[in-house]
Structure 1
Amino acid sequence: MRAGEARLSIDCGTATTAAVLAWPDGSSTSLSFDGVPYLPSAVYVSPGGEVWTGQQARQAAAGQPNRLIPSPRRPADDDFTVDGTAVDALEVAAAPLRRVAVEAERVAGGPVRDMRVVVPAGWGPRRRTWLRQVAHRAGLPQPRLVEAPVAVAGHLLATGVHLPAGSFIVVCDVGAGAEVTVLRRGPSGFEVLATLGDAAAGGTAIDEALAAALTGPDVPGDGAAWSTTVESVRAAKEALATHPAVTVPLPDRPPVVASSGMLEQAAGPVLRRVAQLTQATITAAELTVADIAGVYCVGGSAHLPQLAQAIAAGTGITPVVVPDPASAAVLGAADAGATDHGAVDRVEVEVPPVRRAVAVAISGFASLALIWQCLMTAEQHSTLNVYFWVDLNWGEFTMAAVMALLACLAAGTVLGSLIAARSPTPGTRTEGGRVSIGILAAVSLGTAIAGLYAVVASQYFGQPVGRFLSWALWPITPIAVAAVGMSVVAARQWRVPHGGWSALLAAPTGSVVTATLGMGLVQYSLTAERWPDMLLWIDVAGRVGGLLLGVGVVMALVAPLMFRLILAAPLAVITAAIVSDQATGIIGVTYAVAVAVWWAARLWTRIIRPAPLAPAGQPPSVLPVGTPTAGGR
């Protein structure tokens, strides 16, 4: 097989570096170094300036531990200083990669041109650029950088784990540090939603805690002797996975015995911190535990049984430890194990119920009823057949435009959800994306209908169109702006609201019906023939209409029944008291403002982010893609 057909995948961890050669037939070969399937990331800088890796570095460091660099995988603006001598940071970091390149060329029979390098999800542009420079210094081709949790998710698919499109998973990477990531599987791949990292919540912290328990306070927590002790303890920790007790050699003192009980005691606080990070990351992604399809543990410390117990206790989700957890990311980055992940399964989108269509019809008929009554009951006047004017209920005219826009918005939302539910194959847009398009189309259509009302009324009465346009368009502008904002949020958000977008954005039907009846009664009281025996009933109809308008405004503003009762009483009394020809415009605009507030409140519920938990005394922060983390393998 030609070398050019192979694909080299490298996972440069904080403690170890793993590499895999993947072949076109789906098989893979793990590269071995000094007889083990990984290369320690630590390097030794010789007095002559040479950089040694692997077993050679460990043996040399036994005599001169101060020349050992335990973790060269970190961007550095300044060079390392080893025994008083400056050492090029890029050269130090490139040494393990150069060793990997030599071994890969030997196994493949020639240089490998296709290369992938695993990076933490929280690494930003600066650190990624630095890693590309390291690869170039090592003589490797330009690598493709693959985020570790995305690589792990790909490995899960390749090994037969069922993850339908639209599902959410958590990848808990516990290596030298910890990095917890929430991902969503979309039609075209996995996307990172939130990442939290903590360098003090991984294997290094466990090693140091166990080393402190074995050595006591006599050995300081720094220096060459401490580094050697931690390395011995790390090897003992791996052995304790299969043995109840092991002997740990220590520098300048007799060996000691480490037991599984001591490891459990040392690892407990660290792994509980990982569990807290897991819950905090789910919260940061604006999800709940019920939304998560699975939690998958990878990394060099994922095999510790206390990790699964801590996550299950902290989140209520029993995690799955991926087989060969230390190699999951590097295998996933190489696409090893499968050449085709299969078709993307759809997540069923709930079909909007029939009552959503009824809500659309109610708003639409309310708009038509209001505009018909407004035009048919308007009084036309003239002076000497020269100057003409119209007494129009401008509040009713405004409410007709508002109801038209509400009907269009409800229809656009329902149609977007319905198209997403009926789509036979997963497209490039989520349900929110389709709803977003529906909202934008609805805003355009609703605004056009409101403008049409103005033009028709202007032509019907033979009056200039300017005033009609002002009363039709200006009051609905805040509603349209809030709806456009919601369309942007719907297109960008991954999480579908409870009950679907059609439920979140369903028009407030009770408010629509109440306000429409109220304005209809008000208009009747203002335009009806005032026969003496009907005066009382006409006035009562007007006051009742004012009451209903006040109630309709409150129903649009608040949902809890108690708040509605508290607010409706004073507002309904006020609107009933001010019913008159001059006040109808104010009442109509007030209702338009209430509807705008209703939309703004729903927009706010989609924009606001719940504050992440603050476990273990140090609150984690949400790390979007491009932000450095302290985690690593």
Structure 2
Amino acid sequence: MQAEQARLAIDCGGATTTAVLAWPDGTWRPLLFDGEPELPSAVLLTPAGDTLTGHRAWQAATSTPDRFVPAPRHSPEQQRLSIADTEVDVLDLIAATLRRVAEQAQITGGLPVEDVRLVVPAGWGPRRRTRLRHAAHRAGLAQPRLIEAPIAVAGHLLATGAQLPVGSFIAVCDVGAGAEVSVLRRGSAGFEVLATLADPAAGGTTIDDALTAALATPGSASSGDGARWGLLASVRAAKHALADRAAVTVPLPDTSAVVLTTAVLHEVARPVLDRVAHLVKETIAAAEISVHDLAGVYCVGGVARLPLLTEVLTEALGVTPIVVADPAMAAVRGAADAGAAGPGPVAAPPEVPVPPVRRAAAIAVPGFVSLGLISQFLLTPEWHGSLMYQEALLNWGELAMAAVFALIAALGAGTVLASTLAARNTPGNAPMGSAGSQTGTGILASASLGVAVAGMYAVVGSLYIGYPANGFLRWALLPIAPTVAVAAVMALIAVRQWRVPVGGWSQLLAFPTGTVITAGAGMALIQYSLVADRWPHLVLWIDLAGRVGGLLLGVGTVLAVVRQPILRLILGAPLTVITAALVSWQATGILGVIYAIAVAVWWLRQLWSELLRPDIPARPLR
């Protein structure tokens, strides 16, 4: 095994630090510190200026308590600490623990590891993440990749065979020194955190302090005294031992030992674990789902070993949580892809489906309809006035709809092309970027093309008719602005891989051709009725053509806005009557804007229902 190919994952927790080395062939090994996989995160600064870590720091704390820092990571807002009248950078204390991990990894792997991954709480912001990166740099580690703890746990669950289908929701209850609860959803691109809440006082540190206070004798020293650190170390060991025993003996400083039973532990721990249960319920509510929508509630962290946690959560939630095997190592194993062959990320980008050839028709229809409408707009204005001065009556609604259809055609063509290229690019021959970035770039480029075509329509119309361009630009660009904005949001989602819609982006953005044909034919009939020669024997038929055109435009609007047949009937009846009645030179712009709004609503609905709030049923808890 070559160390340069190994993956080193480190979970630098508030109470303990764990680390795993994993190799491309799927083998992995936990790093051992003093024979144990969990290294206490505490540090102690000796009078000589050396830094002790782990159990060595706890052992020395009894003699030099003023130089002991039990949890350096819990001082995020303090850049410097005063230890025995010496100013120390907090990052140096965190780096001391990371340095020991790096040394042990080099001993285990044989060479320094280049692929380093650090587990961080999902609720950490950029400042705390950056500070942890700086600490890793000071420890001599390679540039680390930060992986959020619940994402790492979810990856570990998949690697160990958990059945979590795409679209399902899970809750990860991470109870270590404190508690952090996250609700995740599995999408086609991997897991995403929907909500996360943390409570530093709802974890093992609070339980340890309460047990220490319960066992301390009246003559015990204050919290900074070495005797207290010795008692706290004994209490921590006893708490872990009670996970599978009924009682243990706890030695007390300067007095006889006492027996600590599970009954005492439960009495002390229950108020803390009740806070954990409340935190889980709040997080589920923040994710805007119910507990029955979850595919599972998974408990990790050192406190997850206590059977009382399962009991409390079951009572509070009405479902039985699942304690992950070896809960203290779950996040770090997931971050390292332990057991996975190949050093890929926790969740690989999905394969993008190749759009079918028949979708070309859905692109061609709005394109040809757009060309037909703009041609009719330019060739059939109604001229009034004398030879010296003529004024043109223009169907501004027809120009607006031509611009809308041009944008629809451009978006469809660009998305299909980008999806096809992304689907046919393999990891070995992909020319640039990911499938998501190619699709997002295609959406933005095609939206820009649609705007350019609409602008060209306006400029050509201005030159051909001989009028200033202001009005043409206003009617060509403003109606498509909402749709362009929605397309930009979709492009951002594609690039960030937040969501990959079922069936691919080309299917999501395929605008229905029925509404294009219906509305386009309706506007063409309206324009014909307005400019046709009104011979007496044809007046009735010309007016009827205009009303039918208004009716068809109303039908096309309803087809774009509403999906359900019954709602189409309910909304279509009054709307088609209104659009048919509005047919006139003065109202053509209104009719075009009505349809442009309908198109924007269709895009907003696609964005909301398929990407932001997809209605995919999750597997309920049993």
TM-score by length of 2: 0.71
Counterpart mapping for 1:215-226 below 5 A: none
Q: Which moved more, 1:161-170 or 1:329-338?
A: 161-170
Task: Assess, with a 3 A threshold, how the Cα gap between structure 1 residues 387 and 13 changes in structure 2: closer, same or farther.
Answer: closer
Question: Is 1:120 matched with 2:125?
Answer: no
Residue 147 (structure 1) aligns with: 146
Question: Is 1:399 matched with 2:404?
Answer: no
Residue 498 (structure 2) aligns with: 494
Distance 2:7 2:379 in 1: 77
Secondary structure of 1:405's partner?
helix
What one-letter code is carried by the residue in structure 2 that aligns with 1:236? A
Task: Assess, with a 3 A threshold, how the Cα gap between structure 1 residues 109 and 381 changes in structure 2: closer, same or farther.
Answer: closer
Task: Assess, with a 3 A threshold, how the Cα gap between structure 1 residues 568 and 258 changes in structure 2: closer, same or farther.
Answer: same
Secondary structure of 2:511's partner?
coil
Secondary structure of 1:118's partner?
strand
What one-letter code is carried by the residue in structure 1 that aligns with 2:370? S
Secondary structure of 2:302's partner?
coil
Q: Which moved more, 1:143-152 or 1:208-217?
A: 208-217
Match of 1:243 among 235, 242, 245: 245
Distance 1:373 1:424 in 2: 46
Distance 1:389 1:183 in 2: 60
What one-letter code is carried by the residue in structure 2 that aligns with 1:199? P
Match of 1:581 among 574, 579, 585: 585
Residue 530 (structure 1) aligns with: 534
CA contact (8 A) 1:27 1:337 kept: yes
Distance 1:101 1:417 in 2: 42
Match of 1:474 among 468, 474, 477: 477
**Consecutive unaligned residues in structure 1, runs of 5 or more:** 611-633
Residue 440 (structure 2) aligns with: 436
Residue 370 (structure 1) aligns with: 373
Deviation of 1:542 (Å): 3.1
CA contact (8 A) 2:7 2:117 kept: no
CA contact (8 A) 1:370 1:397 kept: yes
Q: CA-to-partner distance for each residue in 1:544-570, whole Å, 9 max, x for gaps?
A: 444554565566556677877777677
What one-letter code is carried by the residue in structure 2 that aligns with 1:272? A
Match of 2:520 among 499, 504, 516: 516
CA contact (8 A) 1:349 1:421 kept: yes
Task: Assess, with a 3 A threshold, how the Cα gap between structure 1 residues 143 and 221 changes in structure 2: closer, same or farther.
Answer: farther
Deviation of 1:269 (Å): 2.0
Distance 1:526 1:133 in 2: 72
Deviation of 1:120 (Å): 1.6
Residue 255 (structure 1) aligns with: 258
Distance 2:448 2:135 in 1: 52
Deviation of 1:580 (Å): 2.2
Q: CA-to-partner distance for each residue in 1:40-96, whole Å, 9 max, x for gaps?
A: 3334566787765555544454467566432233346465456x7455354655655
Residue 272 (structure 1) aligns with: 277
Secondary structure of 1:200's partner?
coil
Deviation of 1:409 (Å): 2.6
Distance 1:129 1:57 in 2: 26
Distance 2:55 2:298 in 1: 32
Secondary structure of 2:534's partner?
coil
CA contact (8 A) 1:486 1:603 kept: yes
Counterpart mapping for 1:618-633 below 5 A: none
CA contact (8 A) 1:241 1:304 kept: yes
Question: Is 1:446 matched with 2:450?
Answer: yes
Match of 2:488 among 478, 484, 491: 484
Counterpart mapping for 1:290-369 below 5 A: 298-305=300-307, 319=322, 321-322=324-325, 324-328=326-330, 340-341=342-343, 347=350, 349=352, 359-369=362-372
Distance 1:191 1:602 in 2: 20
Distance 2:586 2:76 in 1: 71
Residue 507 (structure 1) aligns with: 511
Residue 198 (structure 2) aligns with: 197
Residue 631 (structure 1) aligns with: none
Counterpart mapping for 1:18-97 below 5 A: 18=18, 28=29, 30-33=31-34, 35-44=35-44, 52-55=52-55, 57-62=57-62, 68-73=68-73, 74-75=75-76, 77=78, 79-81=80-82, 85-86=85-86, 88-90=88-90, 93=94, 96=97
Distance 2:94 2:585 in 1: 81
Q: How many equivalent pairs are there?
A: 598
Question: Is 1:13 matched with 2:34?
Answer: no
Q: CA-to-partner distance for each residue in 1:81-135, whole Å, 9 max, x for gaps?
A: 56x7455354655655566677778x57999586947352454554456556656
Distance 1:551 1:27 in 2: 62
Task: Assess, with a 3 A threshold, how the Cα gap between structure 1 residues 213 and 451 changes in structure 2: closer, same or farther.
Answer: same
Task: Assess, with a 3 A threshold, how the Cα gap between structure 1 residues 147 and 136 changes in structure 2: closer, same or farther.
Answer: closer
Secondary structure of 2:529's partner?
helix
Distance 1:104 1:412 in 2: 48
Task: Assess, with a 3 A threshold, how the Cα gap between structure 1 residues 366 and 130 changes in structure 2: closer, same or farther.
Answer: closer
Task: Assess, with a 3 A threshold, how the Cα gap between structure 1 residues 260 and 415 changes in structure 2: closer, same or farther.
Answer: farther
Task: Assess, with a 3 A threshold, how the Cα gap between structure 1 residues 497 and 329 changes in structure 2: closer, same or farther.
Answer: closer
Q: Which moved more, 1:419-428 or 1:265-274?
A: 419-428
Deviation of 1:5 (Å): 10
Distance 1:570 1:371 in 2: 29
Residue 628 (structure 1) aligns with: none
Distance 1:379 1:338 in 2: 71
Deviation of 1:239 (Å): 1.1
Distance 1:262 1:38 in 2: 22
Residue 176 (structure 1) aligns with: 177
TM-score by length of 1: 0.70
Distance 1:451 1:5 in 2: 54
Distance 2:241 2:231 in 1: 15
Counterpart mapping for 1:399-418 below 5 A: 399-417=401-419
